[in-house]
Amino acid sequence: MITITVVAILGVLLAKVLMELFRKPKVPAAPVEDLANLKASDARIGDAISVSGVGDDMTDLDFTAESCTWIETGPRRWFELTGPYKLRRVTLRVDASGDDLEIAMHLDPRKITIEDLGLSEDDLGQMDERQNTGDSFEFDGKVWMYKLSREAHATRNNLPQPRGFYYWEFREENGSGLLAVRKEQDEPFTVTLYQGIAPGDVTVYRGRG
Protein backbone atom coordinates (compact mmCIF):
# COMPACT_ATOMS: atom_id res chain seq x y z
CA MET A 1 0.00 0.00 0.00
CA ILE A 2 2.79 2.37 0.90
CA THR A 3 4.59 1.52 -2.35
CA ILE A 4 1.49 2.35 -4.39
CA THR A 5 1.10 5.69 -2.59
CA VAL A 6 4.76 6.63 -3.16
CA VAL A 7 4.50 5.72 -6.85
CA ALA A 8 1.36 7.82 -7.18
CA ILE A 9 3.02 10.83 -5.56
CA LEU A 10 6.07 10.47 -7.79
CA GLY A 11 3.82 10.22 -10.81
CA VAL A 12 2.06 13.45 -9.89
CA LEU A 13 5.39 15.21 -9.33
CA LEU A 14 6.73 13.95 -12.65
CA ALA A 15 3.63 15.20 -14.42
CA LYS A 16 4.06 18.67 -12.88
CA VAL A 17 7.73 18.77 -13.89
CA LEU A 18 6.87 17.79 -17.46
CA MET A 19 4.14 20.46 -17.60
CA GLU A 20 6.61 23.12 -16.46
CA LEU A 21 9.17 22.00 -19.04
CA PHE A 22 6.74 22.18 -21.94
CA ARG A 23 4.89 25.29 -20.84
CA LYS A 24 5.42 28.13 -23.29
CA PRO A 25 7.27 31.05 -21.74
CA LYS A 26 5.22 34.17 -21.31
CA VAL A 27 6.26 36.90 -23.72
CA PRO A 28 6.16 40.29 -22.02
CA ALA A 29 3.65 42.59 -23.64
CA ALA A 30 5.14 45.45 -25.64
CA PRO A 31 4.66 48.80 -23.92
CA VAL A 32 1.71 50.73 -25.28
CA GLU A 33 2.82 53.96 -26.94
CA ASP A 34 1.10 57.08 -25.64
CA LEU A 35 0.20 58.59 -28.99
CA ALA A 36 -1.42 61.60 -27.34
CA ASN A 37 1.83 62.69 -25.69
CA LEU A 38 4.59 61.99 -28.20
CA LYS A 39 7.76 64.04 -27.70
CA ALA A 40 10.12 65.35 -30.35
CA SER A 41 12.51 62.53 -29.44
CA ASP A 42 9.76 60.05 -30.43
CA ALA A 43 9.38 61.52 -33.93
CA ARG A 44 10.16 59.39 -36.98
CA ILE A 45 9.68 59.28 -40.74
CA GLY A 46 6.05 59.64 -41.75
CA ASP A 47 5.03 61.63 -38.68
CA ALA A 48 3.27 64.98 -38.95
CA ILE A 49 5.13 67.57 -36.89
CA SER A 50 3.85 70.95 -35.76
CA VAL A 51 6.08 73.63 -34.21
CA SER A 52 4.39 76.58 -32.54
CA GLY A 53 4.97 80.08 -33.82
CA VAL A 54 8.02 79.56 -36.07
CA GLY A 55 6.28 79.50 -39.45
CA ASP A 56 5.90 82.43 -41.80
CA ASP A 57 4.19 85.41 -40.13
CA MET A 58 4.64 83.71 -36.73
CA THR A 59 2.17 80.94 -37.59
CA ASP A 60 2.62 77.32 -36.59
CA LEU A 61 4.94 75.40 -38.87
CA ASP A 62 3.53 72.05 -39.99
CA PHE A 63 5.40 69.47 -42.05
CA THR A 64 5.58 65.73 -42.63
CA ALA A 65 8.94 64.06 -42.00
CA GLU A 66 10.09 62.45 -45.25
CA SER A 67 13.70 61.57 -44.42
CA CYS A 68 15.90 61.10 -41.36
CA THR A 69 19.64 61.46 -40.79
CA TRP A 70 21.35 60.13 -37.66
CA ILE A 71 24.58 61.98 -36.79
CA GLU A 72 27.33 60.96 -34.38
CA THR A 73 30.36 62.99 -33.36
CA GLY A 74 32.25 61.82 -30.29
CA PRO A 75 29.76 61.39 -27.41
CA ARG A 76 27.17 63.55 -29.19
CA ARG A 77 24.35 61.88 -31.11
CA TRP A 78 21.30 63.46 -32.67
CA PHE A 79 18.88 62.97 -35.53
CA GLU A 80 17.42 65.33 -38.10
CA LEU A 81 14.01 64.95 -39.73
CA THR A 82 13.44 66.80 -42.98
CA GLY A 83 10.25 67.57 -44.88
CA PRO A 84 8.51 70.17 -47.05
CA TYR A 85 7.09 73.43 -45.77
CA LYS A 86 5.47 75.60 -48.44
CA LEU A 87 8.09 75.96 -51.20
CA ARG A 88 11.13 74.95 -49.17
CA ARG A 89 12.41 72.17 -46.97
CA VAL A 90 12.85 72.44 -43.24
CA THR A 91 14.68 70.28 -40.72
CA LEU A 92 13.95 69.40 -37.10
CA ARG A 93 17.10 68.57 -35.15
CA VAL A 94 16.64 66.52 -31.97
CA ASP A 95 19.56 65.98 -29.59
CA ALA A 96 18.83 63.78 -26.58
CA SER A 97 22.46 62.85 -25.83
CA GLY A 98 22.86 65.36 -23.00
CA ASP A 99 21.07 65.91 -19.72
CA ASP A 100 18.33 67.95 -21.43
CA LEU A 101 16.47 67.43 -24.68
CA GLU A 102 17.70 70.01 -27.17
CA ILE A 103 15.54 70.93 -30.18
CA ALA A 104 16.47 73.19 -33.08
CA MET A 105 15.08 73.89 -36.54
CA HIS A 106 16.66 74.81 -39.83
CA LEU A 107 14.26 77.31 -41.37
CA ASP A 108 16.47 79.81 -43.17
CA PRO A 109 16.08 79.49 -46.96
CA ARG A 110 19.41 81.20 -47.68
CA LYS A 111 22.37 79.28 -49.07
CA ILE A 112 25.00 80.48 -46.61
CA THR A 113 28.71 80.02 -47.34
CA ILE A 114 31.69 80.30 -45.01
CA GLU A 115 32.61 83.48 -46.90
CA ASP A 116 29.23 84.92 -45.82
CA LEU A 117 30.33 84.19 -42.25
CA GLY A 118 33.55 86.11 -42.82
CA LEU A 119 35.58 82.91 -42.38
CA SER A 120 38.07 81.04 -44.52
CA GLU A 121 39.17 77.42 -44.55
CA ASP A 122 42.33 78.51 -42.75
CA ASP A 123 40.25 80.24 -40.03
CA LEU A 124 38.30 77.05 -39.41
CA GLY A 125 41.48 75.01 -39.38
CA GLN A 126 43.03 77.27 -36.74
CA MET A 127 39.89 77.10 -34.58
CA ASP A 128 39.99 73.34 -34.80
CA GLU A 129 43.63 73.31 -33.76
CA ARG A 130 43.05 75.65 -30.81
CA GLN A 131 39.81 74.05 -29.59
CA ASN A 132 39.21 77.32 -27.76
CA THR A 133 35.59 78.01 -26.76
CA GLY A 134 36.53 81.68 -26.50
CA ASP A 135 36.87 81.98 -30.29
CA SER A 136 34.02 83.82 -32.00
CA PHE A 137 32.90 85.72 -35.09
CA GLU A 138 30.01 88.00 -36.03
CA PHE A 139 27.28 87.14 -38.51
CA ASP A 140 23.78 88.54 -39.01
CA GLY A 141 24.36 91.03 -36.21
CA LYS A 142 25.03 88.25 -33.71
CA VAL A 143 28.14 86.87 -32.05
CA TRP A 144 28.76 83.17 -32.63
CA MET A 145 30.92 81.30 -30.11
CA TYR A 146 33.02 78.28 -31.05
CA LYS A 147 31.65 75.17 -29.37
CA LEU A 148 33.48 72.18 -30.86
CA SER A 149 34.97 70.64 -33.99
CA ARG A 150 35.71 67.00 -34.75
CA GLU A 151 35.08 64.16 -37.16
CA ALA A 152 31.47 63.06 -37.54
CA HIS A 153 29.44 60.39 -39.30
CA ALA A 154 25.95 60.63 -40.74
CA THR A 155 23.61 57.76 -41.60
CA ARG A 156 20.60 58.58 -43.75
CA ASN A 157 17.58 56.34 -44.09
CA ASN A 158 17.78 56.21 -47.89
CA LEU A 159 21.55 55.80 -48.25
CA PRO A 160 23.29 52.41 -47.86
CA GLN A 161 26.48 53.61 -46.14
CA PRO A 162 27.31 56.23 -43.49
CA ARG A 163 29.08 59.36 -44.71
CA GLY A 164 31.99 60.93 -42.90
CA PHE A 165 32.67 64.65 -42.63
CA TYR A 166 34.37 67.21 -40.42
CA TYR A 167 32.08 69.23 -38.22
CA TRP A 168 32.29 72.65 -36.56
CA GLU A 169 29.60 73.90 -34.21
CA PHE A 170 28.99 77.47 -33.06
CA ARG A 171 26.41 78.79 -30.58
CA GLU A 172 24.78 82.21 -30.56
CA GLU A 173 26.03 84.29 -27.65
CA ASN A 174 23.11 85.09 -25.32
CA GLY A 175 20.72 83.33 -27.66
CA SER A 176 19.42 79.95 -28.79
CA GLY A 177 20.81 79.88 -32.32
CA LEU A 178 23.11 77.12 -33.54
CA LEU A 179 25.35 77.26 -36.59
CA ALA A 180 26.86 74.10 -38.08
CA VAL A 181 29.65 73.91 -40.66
CA ARG A 182 30.38 70.61 -42.42
CA LYS A 183 33.13 69.58 -44.79
CA GLU A 184 33.10 66.30 -46.69
CA GLN A 185 36.21 65.19 -48.54
CA ASP A 186 36.41 66.76 -52.01
CA GLU A 187 33.19 68.71 -51.34
CA PRO A 188 32.69 72.41 -50.52
CA PHE A 189 31.88 73.60 -47.01
CA THR A 190 28.18 73.67 -46.13
CA VAL A 191 26.66 75.96 -43.52
CA THR A 192 23.37 75.27 -41.72
CA LEU A 193 21.72 77.81 -39.45
CA TYR A 194 19.35 76.50 -36.77
CA GLN A 195 16.88 78.25 -34.48
CA GLY A 196 16.53 76.87 -30.96
CA ILE A 197 13.07 75.53 -30.12
CA ALA A 198 11.50 74.84 -26.73
CA PRO A 199 10.65 71.11 -26.51
CA GLY A 200 7.11 71.98 -25.42
CA ASP A 201 6.53 73.84 -28.70
CA VAL A 202 6.83 70.63 -30.76
CA THR A 203 3.79 68.41 -31.29
CA VAL A 204 4.17 65.03 -32.98
CA TYR A 205 1.35 63.11 -34.64
CA ARG A 206 2.17 59.50 -35.43
CA GLY A 207 2.03 58.70 -39.14
CA ARG A 208 1.34 55.37 -40.78
CA GLY A 209 4.94 54.74 -41.78
Q: Is the pLDDT of residue 174 over 70?
A: yes
Q: Is the pLDDT of residue 195 over 90?
A: yes
What pLDDT is attached to residue 77? 95
Q: What is the number of structural domains in the chain?
A: 1
- Whether residue 51 is contained in a domain is answered as yes
Q: Which domain holds residue 144?
A: 35-205
Q: Give residue-wise pLDDT tens across range 9-23.
A: 545 454 564 455 455
CB contact set of 209 (below 8 Å; sequence gap of 6+): 44, 45, 46, 47
- Whether residue 103 is contained in a domain is answered as yes
Strand partners, 106: 91
Q: Has this prediction a pTM greater than 0.85?
A: no
- Whether residue 27 is contained in a domain is answered as no
Q: Give residue-wise pLDDT tens across range 103-124.
A: 999 999 999 999 999 999 999 9
- Whether residue 19 is contained in a domain is answered as no
Categorize the per-residue pLDDT at 25 as very low, low, confident or very high, splitting at 50, 70 and 90.
low
- Whether residue 26 is contained in a domain is answered as no
More confident: 31 or 203: 203
Q: Is the pLDDT of residue 93 over 90?
A: yes
Q: Give residue-wise pLDDT tens across range 158-171.
A: 878 889 999 999 99
Kindly list the strands in the beta sheet with 61-64, ordered across the sheet, starting from the edge strand earlier in the chain. Answer: 61-64, 48-51, 202-205
- Whether residue 5 is contained in a domain is answered as no
Q: Do the beta carbons of residue 168 and residue 124 sit within 8 Å? A: yes
Helix (H, G, I), strand (E, B) or coil at 198: coil
- Whether residue 199 is contained in a domain is answered as yes
CB contact set of 164 (below 8 Å; sequence gap of 6+): 151, 152, 153, 154, 184, 185
CA atoms within 13 A of residue 96's CA, in its CB half-sphere? 11
- Whether residue 112 is contained in a domain is answered as yes
